[in-house]
Amino acid sequence: MILPINWLKDYCKTEKKYSEIADIFHSIGFTPDEITKEYIDLEITPNRGDAVSVYGLSREINAFLNKPFTDYSKPSQFTKKKNSIISFDNEKAKESVPTYAYLVIEGPLPKKSPAYIAQRLKQININPKNNIVDLTNYLMHEYGQPLHAFDLEKINKLEIGFGKKGEKAVLLGDTEVSITEENLIARSNNTIVDLVGISGCTNSAVCASTTKILMQAAIFTPSVIRKSAKVAGLQTPASYRYERGVDPNAPTYALEKAARILEGWGYNIVEKNIIVNCKNKEKTILFDYALIPNLTGIKVDEKTSRSILTRLGFKVVKNKIIVPSWRTYDIQSPVDLVEEVIRIYGYHNIKPQALPSNPKPPQKTNQHNVNELITTLAGMGLTEVKSTSFISKKEASIFGFDEKSLIEIEKPLSAEYVYMRPSLAPKMFEALSKNPWYDKFTIFEIGNIFKNGQEAVNIALATTNKNHCLGELLPLCDIVKISPEAKTAQLYKIKRQFFYAEAPIEKIAPTLLANKMPTTHNKYKTISKFPPVVRDISFLVKDSTSIEVVSRDIATTEDAILIVEPLDEFESPKFEGKKSITLRITYQKINETLTTQHAETLHNRVREYLIKKYQASIRE
């Protein structure tokens, strides 16, 4: 919701700077998405239909600024005429339109709007059209009440009801929509002239020759407009507001303001009518003020609480709180009132308070087994991968999964999201294909799989290492040898032999839980779009030198070094008090392919560095 600062100041007398105003809105529950000197764009949560307007937001900030509440919804003289232009097809249509108010207006031809209206519309990204249409848009943004102007010479009646399958309507902006039984529409002479609550139709729009106008301001049931907009695949500023709930009293005060402005422009208000199908019931909540400290942990005295509620427009009679008409959609119970008080009082005033110590110590659960398993496997030299939970149709067919046993996604966004994975294999194979530059490695994944309507946790292991120890790890599982000729290997372009095993986690977890590995705190380094070069280096150093320290040290010597891995470490009598260390270094260049020659230069520099700093003798 774009809130122009100068427009807000029509309703809120404050000298605060735009940035302070943004901070205030943030502190009371409206997150600013964009802040400029001219306007603030605020996120309005779906429960706050009342705040999708300049006036609505002014009520909020005035409550915060401790200004007395000013009600602009003055009583107005709308007649309840019996034989109105408006009629309803049936009870269901009637129930969908609790209130329908309108003006009948006669006067000069539409012309350009005054500058202040045109400018403000531009600020909220609406192109000015003519003074009548602009006024409806202007007042919608000001009060949150959608208005619509019909050319009364193009319609003679408005019959409100639900659509029929096969009907079509051409909306403002020349969009054609197919109508269904879910769409609330208005007809005149059996022609659809309005997609109610969403958009008017071109056939009844105000144009350059219009001299008689019906200006509508109505309340429609939020869920009816939501369904209608959904099936039409549309969201308009009007439907957005109706879905969230428009103040039941807004039709008359919005039209009242329209009438005053129109009269100022030389128009005659011929009729001011209102049809009330369903009276807005006043909502009263019995409120125990002790709920505030009980729930929040801070004391707000009763006087302050009452003052906050009153400033927000609630009527407070001791512990009876009457909800203002514009909040009837979201204020339903005492806890809602606690939030109202505390958000204006300020969340920052709540002092943190430690949780009391828990008498029940936590129990060991399955999650512990999984975590232990992951640390154990990593400690043994395996690397954990995570992959998406979806597979494509192509993957399903290559792996020969029975489509009937798979869980299929409704209207998938892309071909990658067609089925839930019934096995970890497709993405494990993909991971193997993604790492051609590393020769011997072993990876694993633990994740949920979906098969025959059942969900289970599987573990999968894959290795390119011929001397693998999968047999030791998985004594109870089948280990499959996959050759590059296999259909699956070809799909993923895996050009080497590897071994794969997968099993339900509970089958192997108990045999696996042993030595652990600490977590790291390494920062991420940007990975090049170009392939890396991987080189090993072996050297002799003093026995006291730590392989981890040397690895971390070398990683900082060149920008082109992405990863340094300790690969091997051993002592031998023939080294005379020294030990042998082997490191594996992944080199890359960010903006281009790293050539073998350049990699050799870099590798030489590492050799020289090791010799100089650690008095290493290079082996190789």
Partner 1 sequence: MPKLPRGHIHPTTQLLTRAISAMEKIGFEVLTGPELTTERLNFDVLRIPKDHPARDTQDTFWTKDGKVLRTHTSAMQIPAMAQKKPPVRILIPGRVFRNESTDATHEAVLYQLEGFVIEKDTTMANLIWTLNYLLKELLGKDIKTKFFPHNYPFVEPGMDVMIKWQGRWLEVLGSGMIHPEVLHNMGVESDKWQGFAFGIGIDRLMMLERGVDDIRWSLSGDLRFLKQF
The least distance separating partner 1 from the CB of residue 328, rounded to whole angstroms, comes to 15
Residue with tokens 């939501």: 226
Distance from C-alpha of 40 to C-alpha of 542, rounded to nearest angstrom: 64
Whole-number Å distance between alpha carbons of 608 and 614: 10
Please say whether the beta carbons of 470 and 460 come within 8 A: no
User: Taking CB under 8 A as the rule, does residue 404 contact partner 1?
Assistant: no
The verdict on 222 binding partner 1 (CB under 8 A) reads yes
C-alpha span between 372 and 505 (Å, rounded): 12
Do strands 419-420 and 390-391 pair parallel, antiparallel, or not at all (unpaired)?
antiparallel
Q: Choose the binding region for partner 1 from 339-347, 396-404, 478-486, 502-510 (rule: CB under 8 A).
A: 339-347
Span from 210-218, 340-348, 501-509, 589-597 in contact with partner 1 (CB under 8 A): 340-348
Among 36, 90, 223, 405, binds partner 1 (CB under 8 A): 223
Figure out which of the listed residues 368, 496, 542, 619 binds partner 1, where binding follows CB under 8 A.
368
Question: From start to end of 513-597, where are the E strands?
Answer: 533-542, 561-571, 578-587
Q: Is 156 in the site for partner 1 (CB under 8 A)?
A: no
In whole angstroms, the minimum distance from the beta carbon of 191 to partner 1 comes to 29
Task: Establish if 343 lies at the interface with partner 1 (CB under 8 A).
Answer: yes
In the complex, what is the shortest distance from the CB of residue 489 to partner 1, in angstroms, rounded to a whole number? 16
User: What single letter denotes the amino acid at residue 340?
Assistant: E
Nearest to 539 by CA among 578, 587, 596: 578
The angle that helices 54-64 and 18-27 make with each other, rounded to 10 degrees, is 80
Torsion of CA 365, 368, 374, 380, to 10 degrees: -120
Q: Is 469 in the site for partner 1 (CB under 8 A)?
A: yes
Using CB under 8 A as the binding criterion, the count of chain residues that bind partner 1 stands at 108
Residue 283 in contact with partner 1, rule: CB under 8 A: no
One DSSP character per residue, 121-161 reads HHHTT-----HHHHHHHHHHHHHS--EEEEETTT-S-EEEE
| One residue of 296, 307, 310, 392 binding partner 1 per CB under 8 A | 296
Q: Does 226 bind partner 1 (CB under 8 A)?
A: yes
Among 24, 234, 261, 298, binds partner 1 (CB under 8 A): 298
- Cβ count within 10 A of residue 448: 12
441 vs 609 by CB, closer to partner 1: 441
Binding string, residues 373-392; x marks residues near partner 1 by CB under 8 A = -xx-xxxxxxxxxxxxxx--
Options 302-310, 336-344, 594-602, 607-615: segment touching partner 1 (CB under 8 A): 336-344
Indicate whether 294 belongs to the interface with partner 1 (CB under 8 A).
yes
Look at residues 220, 255, 210 and name the one whose alpha carbon lies nearest to residue 241.
220
Which residues, in sequence order, are CB contacts of 300 under 8 Å at separation 6+? Answer: 292, 293, 341, 342, 345
Interaction residues for partner 1, span 311-330 (CB under 8 A): 330
Residues with Cβ within 8 Å of 158's Cβ and at least 6 positions away in sequence, in order, are 85, 86, 87, 150, 186, 187, 188, 193, 194, 214
Task: Based on the shown chain and the rule CB under 8 A, indicate whether residue 232 belongs to the binding site for partner 1.
Answer: no
Please work out, in degrees rounded to the nearest 5, the angle formed at the alpha carbon of residue 234 by the alpha carbons of 233 and 236.
Answer: 170
Least Å from the CB of residue 408 to partner 1: 4
CB-wise, 82 or 348, nearer to partner 1?
348
Regarding 511 and contact with partner 1 (CB under 8 A), the answer is no
Residues 521-540 binding partner 1 (CB under 8 A) are: 522-527, 532
Contact positions with partner 1 (CB under 8 A) in 110-149: none
357 near partner 1, judged by CB under 8 A: yes
Binding to partner 1 in span 541-600, by CB under 8 A = 547, 562-563, 565-569, 584, 586, 588
Question: Please, which of residues 45-74 interact with partner 1 by CB under 8 A?
Answer: 45-48
For Cα atoms 144, 60, 35, give the angle at the middle one, nearest 5 degrees. 85
The residue within the footprint of partner 1, chosen from 208, 286, 317, 355 (CB under 8 A), is 355
410 lies in the binding site for partner 1 (CB under 8 A): yes
Q: Which of 315, 244, 328, 317 is nearest to 279 (CA)?
A: 328
d(C-alpha 238, C-alpha 220), whole Å:
11
User: Is the CB of 195 or the CB of 224 nearer to partner 1?
Assistant: 224
Is residue 407 involved in binding partner 1 (CB under 8 A)? yes
Instruction: Count the neighbouring beta carbons within 10 Å of the beta carbon of residue 175.
Output: 14
Q: Of 264, 362, 510, 573, which one interacts with partner 1 (CB under 8 A)? A: 362
User: By CB under 8 A, is residue 268 in contact with partner 1?
Assistant: no
Of 83, 127, 353, 556, the one binding partner 1 by CB under 8 A? 353
Site string for partner 1, 10-39 (x = CB under 8 A): ----------------xxxx-x--------
- Nearest distance from C-beta of residue 394 to partner 1, angstroms: 18
State yes or no: residue 601 binds partner 1 (CB under 8 A): no
Q: Could you tell me the CA-to-CA distances from 447 to 374, 435, 444, 458, 473 in Å, in that order?
A: 12, 21, 10, 6, 18
Which residues within the stretch 417-456 sit at the binding site for partner 1 (CB under 8 A)?
A: 417, 420, 427-428, 430-431, 434-435, 438, 441-443, 448, 450, 455
Q: Least distance in Å: CB of 31 to partner 1?
A: 7
DSSP 467-509: T--HHHH-TTS--EEE-TTSHHHHHTT--S-EEEEEEEHHHHH
CA distance 617 to 614: 9
